Each structure stands twice: as structure tokens, then as C-alpha cells.
Chain A
Amino acid sequence: MRFGARRSDRGSTAVDEALIKSVFDEHGGMLLAYATRLTGDRAAAEDVVQETLFRAWKHPEVLGNRKGSVRGWLLTVARNIVTDRARARAARPTEVAEQSPNSANGPVERDHADHVVNSMVVLEALDALSPEHREVLVEIYYRGRSMVEAAQALGIPPGTVKSRCYYALRALRGIVGVNQPARTREGAR
């Protein structure tokens, strides 16, 4: 769903609410799951989601973009809110830092220090893949399925999963800089 219109401050409440409701219906599950993992707490996560949607409402121009970059923007905003709040807490000497049981072991924690490209760029590039290539990457890489499981889920032979992984990665080479240092994989996944 796309929203091209800029919200005027005097725009109608109904339009605003419809806009936020549709963002919530499309992306709310993603945001709450992400924020819950980062905070380790449902109540805190809901607050992060509310703040993220509030900021989206303040920046309706973002919502006119393609789905991948809308999602990337929302995830980035949510992560920044979590980070800012954790920092604010850490700045208070009398408080014990909150222990978040879930925040230490998630796959997103990998590699935040070296943001070569941001998630918006990657999500847009994934959107631009053919659906066949995109779905194998999502199943294999993001849902952590084995090639055999992905083959079963998608109803294609395992050999096809393997070759689609390869061609999907090749198709995505444009998202990374030409001068990437040649490193072998560092065991992330």
C-alpha cells in the first residue's frame, strides 16, 4: 500500500487514522516482533511500536515509498528508539541496567558495528528480485530453513533451491560496494 499524499496539519482525522491503521495492519506484526526481541519485554515493545508509528505519522512522505524502504525505515526507527532508551537508562547511575533475556542472542545482533549498507537498501533490493529468488533467500537465510525444508515448503527440488540461492546472491551484487574486501565468511550463518 502506498501513500503519496502529504498529511496536512489540518488534514482529516479519519484520513490520518486510516493511514496509521493500514501501516499497522501491514507492518505492525513485524515491528512488534522486532521490538519484543530487542527489548525482551512485550510492554516495552508495544511502547516502541507506538512511538515508531507516531513518527511515521509525522513523516508521511516516507510512507509513499516502496514497501521495502518503508519497512527498512520503520525497523530503523524502532531500533533507534530502543537504543536511545537503553542509553538514557544507562546514563542514570542509580539504576540497574535492565537485563533483557532475549536481546543477547538474536540474529540481528550480528554485525551492527559495520553497517556497510543499511537495511532499507537491502530490503529494496530484495523487493526487486524475482519472487522465486526472493522466496528462497527468505526461507533459507531469514527463516533459517535447511535446503531440504525450503524445497518442501516451496514445492521445488533441493537442487533448484541451491541454484536459486546462487542466482539470487548474484543478482544482489549491485547492493554492495565494488571494493568490498574479499573475506571468507566469518561463520555468521
Chain B
Amino acid sequence: MSEQEIDRSLLGAYALGVLDRAARHSVESHLGRCAGCRHELAELTAVERALRQVPPEAFIEGPPPGGDLLLQRTLRRIRDDRGGGSRVGRRIAVAAGVVALAGALVGGGAVVGRMTAPQQPVALNPPPQDENTAQPPGTRMLTAADPATGAHMTVAVAPAAGWVRLHADVVGVPAGTRCRIWVVGDDGRREAAGSWLASANGKAGTTVDALALIPPDQVAAVEVNTTDGKKLLVARA
């Protein structure tokens, strides 16, 4: 009995950890008696350890779903870099209200939505010209992130005649927090644009549609505060 060989192909499945309990036990009891199989298993196990270096995502093909905006931002960044990356040029664009801050980076330095990455300045990326979304022309995307709490927000500010529509995704605010969204004008004027109770599903967050009577070109920031006034997120235009 101790001389009896097993089906060696079991060793591959064993090394990969996919044998059921009964088969695993029969392999193990054989390994106790068979130096040849122990040696072979050691080789296969070394291969398995090498396979661990590769994350499972390595086998995902194709572009990410909903990745158009990300692609456009990336292309814009490259265009900016080719063009000498003139920050002055970008600032002018910001002032003209053409530009949005896109691409929140959670873990940036400040509590508010200033696009700071620890490693290098993150460009103020103009919005894509040709993204396939239903946002009206002139819509600005603002973002805010609080690395201390993990809360973040993406808000689209769409122009209307003398006022703005907001479409905000607010994620990571503790469930049950009473929230209010404000639009802040460049003269410091503040308009409350809506309030809600943070969802228990913090990861999915809350989508907020709101309106505010502040002219599109005078929007300085969008804030989310608790209803008793504690600041949660500030996305600056």
C-alpha cells in the first residue's frame, strides 16, 4: 500500500488549494510516504507562490465601465504636459469659468477639496469637450475630499439663467448625519440648496439634486455641512 502511486495531477490542484477535503487528505497521507511526490509538490508550490505576485485584476480586459471622463481627464493632462503645462494658462481658464476641478484625490493634504496630491501638484484639469454625458455645456465638476473621515463629494454645477442646478454624489458621511448643501457666492453670499439624512449605506452615498439662486459665474464653492453648522466638505470652484 505504501508503494502505491497516486494520480500525480492531484498535486497541481493540491498546490493551488482547490481540492476538496477528502482528496486533500488522501494526498497528504500519500505525501507522508512518498518522497517523489513531496519533491514534486515542493516545485509546484514554488510556482504557486510566484503566481501570487499577480493580482486577480490582471485578467480583466477592456476599458473600465463608465471610464469616459477618466480617459478625457488623462488625455487632457497629457495635452497640458505637452503644451508646457502652463499653469498660468490653466489659471486663466479657471477664472473664465471654463474649467472644473476634476478628479478628487482622497488623501490629499487639506480637509477641503483642494486638489493636492502628496507627491506632485495635480493639475487643474479642464473638463472634457466631448464626454458622453448628458451634462449641459458649461457644467463644472467640483470635488471635495476629507482624508480624515474618508468623506468625499463630486458635484456637477450646471448653469441656468441666473442660477445653478447641482447634482452631487456625497459618499462616506456617517449614517444618520443631518446634512445641508450650500452654494457659496464669490461675494460670500450663501444659499442653502437642500438637506438630507446621510444614508446608512455610506459606501454608496447619497445623490443630491439641488438648486440655488446664485449666478453660475459667481459660484465660489459648494459646501456640505451638518445642519448644526459643522463643516463636512468644501468643493471650491
Complex formed: what's the CA distance from A86 to B8 in Å? Answer: 45
Contact B104 A16 (CB under 8 A): no
Which residue in A20, A122, A173, A182 is a CB contact (below 8 Å) of B38?
Answer: A182
Q: Which residues of B contact A107 (CB under 8 A)?
A: 52, 55-56
Cβ of A20 to closest chain B Cβ, rounded Å: 6
Query: In the complex, what residue of chain A is closest to B49 when comparing beta carbons?
Result: A116
Stretch at the interface among B68-76, B175-183, B224-232: B68-76
Cβ of B148 to closest chain A Cβ, rounded Å: 5
Can you report 19 A-B residue pairs in the complex whose CB atoms are below 8 A from each other?
Answer: A9-B82, A24-B70, A25-B62, A28-B67, A28-B71, A44-B107, A47-B104, A50-B74, A75-B54, A88-B118, A111-B52, A118-B53, A138-B59, A146-B18, A168-B12, A172-B47, A177-B46, A185-B45, A188-B17
Contact A26 B147 (CB under 8 A): no
Q: Which residues of A contact B103 (CB under 8 A)?
A: 43, 46-47, 50
Which residue in B16, B67, B148 is a CB contact (below 8 Å) of A96?
Answer: B148
Complex formed: what's the CA distance from A54 to B75 in Å? Answer: 9
Give the secondary structure class of A's interface: helix
Check: B184 CB closer than 8 A to any chain A CB. no
Which residue in B17, B38, B43, B152 is a CB contact (below 8 Å) of A41?
Answer: B152
Check: B60 CB closer than 8 A to any chain A CB. yes
Contact A182 B63 (CB under 8 A): no
B interface residues, Cβ below 8 angstroms from A: 8-18, 38-39, 41-65, 67, 70-71, 73-75, 77-79, 81-82, 103-107, 109, 117-119, 122, 143, 145, 147-148, 150, 152, 154, 203
Cβ of B32 to closest chain A Cβ, rounded Å: 11
Contact A33 B45 (CB under 8 A): no
Contact B12 A173 (CB under 8 A): no
Contact A75 B55 (CB under 8 A): yes
Q: Which residues of B contact A146 (CB under 8 A)?
A: 18
Which residue in B51, B59, B104 is a CB contact (below 8 Å) of A43?
Answer: B104
| Given A75-B58, A122-B50, 4 further pairs, Cβ under 8 A | A50-B73, A95-B148, A140-B16, A141-B18
Cβ of B235 to closest chain A Cβ, rounded Å: 12
Complex formed: what's the CA distance from A168 to B18 in Å? Answer: 15
Contact B17 A95 (CB under 8 A): no
Cβ of B49 to closest chain A Cβ, rounded Å: 6
Check: A89 CB closer than 8 A to any chain B CB. yes
Contact A29 B61 (CB under 8 A): yes
Complex formed: what's the CA distance from A171 to B151 in Å? Answer: 48
Which 3 A-B residue pairs are closest in the complex by CB-CB distance?
A: A166-B12, A88-B118, A182-B42
Cβ of A50 to closest chain B Cβ, rounded Å: 5
Complex formed: what's the CA distance from A39 to B147 in Å? Answer: 12
Query: In the complex, what residue of chain A is closest to B104 when comparing beta carbons?
Result: A43
Cβ of A84 to closest chain B Cβ, rounded Å: 6
Which residue in B64, B79, B152 is a CB contact (below 8 Å) of A13?
Answer: B79
Contact A88 B74 (CB under 8 A): no
Interface residues of A in 32-89 (CB under 8 A from B): 32-34, 37, 39, 41, 43-44, 46-47, 49-50, 53-54, 57, 71-72, 75, 81, 84-86, 88-89
Q: Which residues of A contact B74 (CB under 8 A)?
A: 20, 24, 49-50, 53-54
Q: Which residues of B contact A142 (CB under 8 A)?
A: 54, 56, 58-59
Cβ of A143 to closest chain B Cβ, rounded Å: 7
Contact A162 B58 (CB under 8 A): no
Q: Which residues of A contact B152 (CB under 8 A)?
A: 41, 43
Contact B9 A162 (CB under 8 A): yes
Given A32-B64, A46-B70, A182-B38, is A98 in contact with B147 using a C-beta cutoff of 8 Å? yes
Contact B12 A16 (CB under 8 A): no
Cβ of A149 to closest chain B Cβ, rounded Å: 10
Contact B42 A17 (CB under 8 A): no
Complex formed: what's the CA distance from A54 to B77 in Å? Answer: 8
